[in-house]
Amino acid sequence: MYNILICDDERDIVNALKIYLTDPDYRMFEAYTGREALEIVAREDIHLILMDIMMPEMDGISAMVKIRESCNVPVILLTAKSEDMDKILGLNAGADDYITKPFNPIEVGARVRSQLRRYFKLGGGELKPEVLVNGGIEVNDRSKQVAVDGVTVSLTPKEYEILKLLMENPGKVYSPREIYQEVWKEKPFGSENTVAVHIRHLREKLEINPAEPRYLKVVFGQGYKMEKGRQP
């Protein structure tokens, strides 16, 4: 599943691009300002961005430059025919390509596929599996469903994100501060108690005996980890 962010202050354009890019392998995210785009990139694993140049609050080029500080995800600029200088500025600032309005649907699809192919072929991106399995725990990231020993379990959004983080990295120890930063996307002030409460709730929902967990282990003085490959 490829995560694509469409950022344009005109909702009709966002909706049109979503229609042009209708594909079961694409998951769409929407933003209407450069700042909204930055927020989405910070919390989601985005694989390609379609970014309008002229937007309120923060223009597309400024947003792209900010994004480039932390990742090299492909950026395709959306431009008007009259914005030739902006195209040049955008390409010089790090854009990978541009598409001129009004759009040709076939061209949009071709350019998106080309940039995704290039990004993953060169090793810039990595698709994470949609179904994570460890022992008797199964996490389906497309449906956001969790099952333990075949029985569906209801988790809160934060519980789900903590479990997903640990499932993606079995055996790796995360401190409470690291978990808080990854899940809450905030500075981890007072994070230890918050994370401990969520871990306790996860154990109550996932473990047969929360006092003697099979999966969610404490590494004293360090943090928490998902025990590898423990079968029920």
Q: Cα–Cα distances in Å, from 34 out to 17, 65, 100, 132, 180? A: 17, 11, 19, 33, 25
CATH 3.40.50.2300 range(s) for the chain read 2-121
Q: Report whether pLDDT(5) > 70.
A: yes
pTM exceeds 0.75, yes or no? no
CATH 1.10.10.10 range(s) for the chain read 131-226
DSSP state for residue 228 in the 8-state scheme? T
Q: Report whether pLDDT(198) > 90.
A: yes
Q: Are 49 and 72 in contact (CB under 8 A)?
A: no
Bridge partner list, 2: 26
Give me the mean pLDDT over the 27-38 stretch: 93
Cis peptide before 102 (omega within 30 of 0): yes
Candidates 1.10.274.10, 1.10.3720.10, 1.10.10.10, 3.40.980.10; CATH matching 131-226: 1.10.10.10
For residue 232, name the pLDDT band (cuts at 50, 70, 90).
Answer: very low
User: Which ranges in 3-44 belong to alpha helices (H)?
Assistant: 11-20, 34-43
Strand 48-52, strand 75-79: pairing: parallel
Give me the mean pLDDT over the 207-228 stretch: 91
Instruction: Tell me the pLDDT tens digit for each residue of 98-145.
Output: 888 888 999 999 999 999 988 888 766 666 677 889 989 999 987 889
Instruction: Tell me the pLDDT tens digit for each residue of 174-189.
Output: 999 999 988 887 776 7
For residue 35, name the pLDDT band (cuts at 50, 70, 90).
Answer: very high
CATH number of 2-121: 3.40.50.2300
pLDDT value for 123? 63
